[in-house]
Structure 1
Amino acid sequence: MTLKPARGLAVLLCVLSPLAFAQADAVRKPDPNTRVPQGVIHHAATGFPDRIVASPLQAGDAGFAVSWRTSPAVDAPMLEIVVAGDSPDMGTPRQVSSRTQALQTENGDARYHHAVIDGLQADTLYAWRVQGDRTWSAWYHTRTAPAAGAPLTLLYFGDTQNQNTSLTTRVIREAMRHAPDARLALYAGDLVSGGDGEDDNEWAEWFEANDPLTTSMVVAPAPGNHEYFEEFEDTPMERRVLGAHWPLQFALPANGVDEAKETTYWFDYQDVRVAVIDGTSALDLGTAEAQARWLDGVLSGNPRRWSIVLTHQPFHSPRAGRDNVLMREHLLPVIKRHGVDLVLQGHDHTYARRGADAAPTPVFVVSVVGAKQYRLSEQARATMRPVGEDTQLFQVLRFDGGRMRYEARTATGRLYDAFELIDEADGKRLVEVTEGRIDERRCDREATLKGRKDRCWE
């Protein structure tokens, strides 16, 4: 009997040896970082609003801020917001003015608009839209943070960075499928790769990959080293400079440390205080001590039951050859002294969890969403558990009174790691959740398609 082509291919794949797979990899070519062919301008700004993203205010129950992009034809457009209703006639919306800034990119001139919407009711579903050139965006729904004590679900993502439209998209959609009630999304930096002349295309594909998350919940990102670029590279004047997109792309709380004003901030969301620090600035621009003093002030007298520090570079790196000493020297003592519950990190493109030396908290996690995958160090295998390679992941965190449940899931939704923190009279207690977890994953490839043996995929 003649096999149909699809079935024949399946049978062939089942009998291929590891050597055959290696040979197949040898003739494959790596995918480009973006889908835009060289010389094509696909993501130029127009009169239609795009790259729309909601971000938290310092008080998450009081409102949120929105950033969006248009062509230069639009100057100081409006945002409209109203309590969401079942009828298409939701009443007369409140109009909120915006602040506009210009940006020149490889895709031409653009205008970025920020609107701050305050004075809202807690735990209320709002409909809102943003204005373009004689047109408006769709109406979007975003619910404000619940009052303290109510349940809260949030998402945490490691680095997205590479091939966002191609390979990040599926992870974001799987995360939203597993947590349809999520109100907040935390990103641990390196949202894009940058530095390749396609910065604007990369940001366009980040928004394409993360749609519709950015308009259905509030987004709080940490800056990564790839949000910076090297000015005067390979000269005595070489220095790190924050990329032009970052302060325009997000309308974040303006309450950070003066030495890193655009890349550090904090906010309260339900029973959680979130502090975002800038590891690149701490390590490369000499702001570690200043950030530590600022973080100490943010965490002092914290009235919230739970606390999270979000940063790009890990305090304990799971990748060989990386050691972020300045962060451990200046910022880690502050985190431990204030009993931070979770430190959510990226940068090392693997999965790894590590607890405190002699206490249930803080719990340190490194994760990755995107296509670039590194290899674990032997020290990480010995000191962290669980660990993982060659795996795209997302995390779901659920807070309910005195209990926090953490789940790390793979791109296909399989449970990779889980634990609970329980707040009791004498402090926090960590309970491992092992039921349903898949085995730890390792990278079996000898090298990437580009021939790099220090990485698993790119």
Structure 2
Amino acid sequence: MRAVSAQWRHRLLAAVLVPGMALATPGGAAQPPEANTQVPMGQLAYQPGPAPDRLVVSPLADASNGFAVSWRTDANVQAPVLELAAQDDSPAFAATRRLTATTTALTAETGVAHYHQVVVDGLAADTAWLYRVQGNGRWSSWNRVVTAAGVDAPLTLLYFGDTQNKNVSHVTRVIRQAMRQAPQARLALFAGDLVSGGDGQDDIEWGEWHAAAAPLLEEVATAPAVGNHEYAELHEDTPQQIKVLGVHWPRSFALPDNGAAVVPHTSYWFDHQGVRIAVLDGTSALEHDSGAEQARWLDGVLAANTRPWTIVVVHQPLYALRTGRDNRALVTHLAPVLRRHRVDLVLQGHDHAYGRRLLDGAGSTVLVSSVAGPKQYRLSEQARASMAPVGEDTQYYQVLRIANDGLNYASYTASGRLYDQWRIARDADGSKRLIEQMDGRIAPRTCDHRAATATGRTDRCWE
């Protein structure tokens, strides 16, 4: 066959692309910006129906005792049930428990939906269970969940920074790669800004987030921190402008009900094997001045901790990675608590780049910021000077392996290449020390090769 010239190959490919699909031009010229979702404006998708969808497994405060499940149906379903069965190799297994859900309505651009939540407790630790949830004459698949093991058992967990944009298009591959990297993971943490919102496609965006992460959400206990994009603006551009928690958040996740009184739906803690994890609401701390109250709550949660490891998750980083951001209120209120209780690790997002630093120097809390989604910011000079390693123009996921004698942290790029790795070793006397692990890391990635985004923004690397 006669070779096709680059010019004609470009024209032939363009002829079969769906409307609105971006195409790289010969010579690597900038592509036109891609839409935030795969659903064109004015069209509908992800409407609620009689079949259950948007299933999410969440941890209980004691994750060895059970789990919680949330899911969605159309408005014809009231108080459906969850069925639980012991895992069995025969298809003849039978449900041993039936639990009735609580139901809350939500009206969105896709119609009226009912969200359902069930707490499944009283289970044996380190045991595999099967569950399914009910719709209107329909059931979900039988899904497998394993309760947390004892304090001394090793734990593998996944961490994802902001997903936020183009979830089906660009985030799906990151979550799938993370699951391939750590198929034994029993816990997944998210930094918040799961969706972008505020564009008239909020429910469609949530539909795409669930679609991108469904295999993980349905079987691995998932614990997200709330981000600023999970908040909505009321009375925008008026003196009464205020951020309020979006309607999807409390319906989408059946999280532990043990948070700070000032932010009861967006702060919580739980124990999973050898680690206590506390999740904070950074947006409320910065926008509603709730930092001091959340710090008092965190102080009590950590004072009561009997686990050898502690992790705090908060959307906004204590020390910003992006120029023009100042999260001083988080440093003022949270840093003293982190020091007092010698917190091992703070997982953060928000600034859409990668950076790691210590809170106070050798032997202190490790602060990590990461991003899983495609929106990419440029690092500030301050971040470059105070953090190492740093990274731009890259989607990441993190795998943590925690045992009595050490916390092993590894950050990978979307294609599975090792970007950052270190270990906190825990000695017999309980003392801890950070050990850098350089072998196998790829070179730091920057955005120096791209002067601006497709829309001309120079403060971002990709949007």
Alignment match, 2:209: 206
* 1:446 paired to 2:444: no
Deviations 1:307-365 (A, max 9, x none): 00000000011111111011110111101110000000000000000013233231000
Matches within 5 A, 1:92-131: 92-131=95-134
Aligned equivalents of 2:42 and 2:248: distance in 1?
21
Instruction: Provide the secondary structure at the position in 2 that maps to 1:177.
Output: helix
CA contact (8 A) 2:83 2:95 kept: no
Matches within 5 A, 1:51-450: 51-424=54-427, 425=429, 427-443=431-447, 444-450=449-455
Q: CA deviation at 1:163?
A: 0.2
Instruction: Provide the secondary structure at the position in 1 that maps to 2:116.
Output: strand
Q: CA deviation at 1:5?
A: 7.0
Between the aligned residues of both structures, percent identity stands at 55
Instruction: Report the TM-score, using the length of structure 2 for normalisation.
Output: 0.94
Q: Which amino acid aligns with 1:55?
A: S
Instruction: Provide the secondary structure at the position in 1 that maps to 2:311.
Output: strand
CA contact (8 A) 1:25 1:449 kept: no
Instruction: Provide the secondary structure at the position in 2 that maps to 1:175.
Output: helix
Instruction: Give the aligned CA root-mean-square deviation in angstroms.
Output: 1.7
Deviations 1:56-87 (A, max 9, x none): 00000000000000000100000001111101
> Any unmatched runs of 5+ in structure 2?
11-23
Instruction: Provide the secondary structure at the position in 1 that maps to 2:320.
Output: coil
CA contact (8 A) 1:361 1:428 kept: no
Aligned equivalents of 1:430 and 1:446: distance in 2?
36
* 1:33 paired to 2:33: no
Alignment match, 1:15: none
Aligned equivalents of 1:397 and 1:5: distance in 2?
48
> Any unmatched runs of 5+ in structure 1?
11-19
Deviates more, 1:316-325 or 1:90-99: 90-99
Q: CA deviation at 1:25?
A: 3.2
Instruction: Provide the secondary structure at the position in 2 that maps to 1:211.
Output: helix
CA contact (8 A) 2:54 2:214 kept: no
Instruction: Provide the secondary structure at the position in 2 that maps to 1:246.
Output: helix
Q: 2:48 aligns with which of 45, 48, 52?
A: 45
Q: Which amino acid aligns with 2:145?
A: T
Aligned equivalents of 2:60 and 2:430: distance in 1?
32
Cα distance 1:431–1:267, how it changes in 2: closer, same or farther (>3 A)?
A: same
Instruction: Provide the secondary structure at the position in 2 that maps to 1:408.
Output: strand
Instruction: Provide the secondary structure at the position in 2 that maps to 1:212.
Output: helix
Aligned equivalents of 1:295 and 1:24: distance in 2?
49
Q: Which amino acid aligns with 1:104?
A: T
Aligned equivalents of 1:223 and 1:36: distance in 2?
25
Q: Which amino acid aligns with 1:100?
A: T
Alignment match, 2:17: none
CA contact (8 A) 1:318 1:380 kept: yes
Instruction: Provide the secondary structure at the position in 2 that maps to 1:25.
Output: coil
Instruction: Provide the secondary structure at the position in 2 that maps to 1:381.
Output: helix
Aligned equivalents of 2:95 and 2:254: distance in 1?
25
Aligned equivalents of 1:379 and 1:179: distance in 2?
34
Aligned equivalents of 2:178 and 2:226: distance in 1?
21
Q: CA deviation at 1:301?
A: 3.1
CA contact (8 A) 1:342 1:361 kept: no
Instruction: Provide the secondary structure at the position in 2 that maps to 1:62.
Output: coil
Q: CA deviation at 1:93?
A: 2.6
Instruction: Report the TM-score, using the length of structure 1 for normalisation.
Output: 0.95
Aligned equivalents of 1:9 and 1:120: distance in 2?
59
Q: Which amino acid aligns with 1:446?
A: A
Aligned equivalents of 1:3 and 1:410: distance in 2?
36
CA contact (8 A) 2:274 2:403 kept: no
Aligned equivalents of 1:250 and 1:5: distance in 2?
52
Aligned equivalents of 2:253 and 2:78: distance in 1?
18
CA contact (8 A) 2:171 2:374 kept: yes
Aligned equivalents of 2:29 and 2:218: distance in 1?
39
CA contact (8 A) 1:68 1:114 kept: yes
